[in-house]
Amino acid sequence: MKFDQYTRLSRKTFGDLDESGTPTARFAAVPPELHPLVLAYIGDGFFNLFVRTRLLHFEQNKVRVLHSHGSRMVSATLQAYALRALEDELTEEERAVVRRGRNAKSTVPKSASVADYRYSTGFEALLGFLYLKGENTRLTELAEHAFAIISRKLANLDGSCEE
């Protein structure tokens, strides 16, 4: 990227700075108008941070354990599993966002099936949508429920409890 392009992008992203060095620009996009992969990008970041923060309730010293467990929890397969369990609880608007996310064309990694990857993209798009709309209560409710669903699934996979 050339310096001119970088400067324009920086100004567009962060806006001008006031006397204290704080950006003056604010987020102005309308979440329903954003591309579903942009919503999924934001939702992925949110859910990663949410899971990492929640895992601190169980472990504070072993970063390798936190990373390993956190990576498993945010995998496409387990996110898809959580979304399927949550589908009946979603509003029509939320289902429409999930559908848009599922139908968005993207490259599927080898670590997940096409169906699971599409569902996980829908899940992440939903979280991104709620985050950008500022619907924090609903966002936290769904993230907590997904965390619980995924935790139970991992416990069953690890043989810690019976199915």
Rounded CA separation 135/140 (Å): 9
Between the alpha carbon of residue 76 and those of residues 47, 73, 92, 137, 149, the distances in Å are 12, 9, 23, 24, 14
Active site residues: 44
Predicted confidence (pLDDT) per residue in 77-101, tens digit: 999 999 999 999 999 999 999 999 9
pLDDT of residue 144: 96
pLDDT of residue 109: 74
Q: Where are the domains of the chain?
A: 33-157
- The mean pLDDT of the chain is 84
Predicted confidence (pLDDT) per residue in 110-150, tens digit: 778 889 999 999 999 999 999 999 999 999 999 999 999 99
Predicted structure pTM score = 0.77
Label residue 70 exposed, middle or buried (CB < 10 Å: 0-12, 13-18, 19+).
middle
**Regarding predicted confidence, which is higher, 30 or 87?**
87
**Regarding predicted confidence, which is higher, 46 or 29?**
46
Helices (H) and strands (E) in the chain, counts: 7, 0
pLDDT of residue 157: 75
pLDDT of residue 13: 61
CATH annotation of 33-157: 1.10.1520.10
**Regarding predicted confidence, which is higher, 125 or 58?**
125
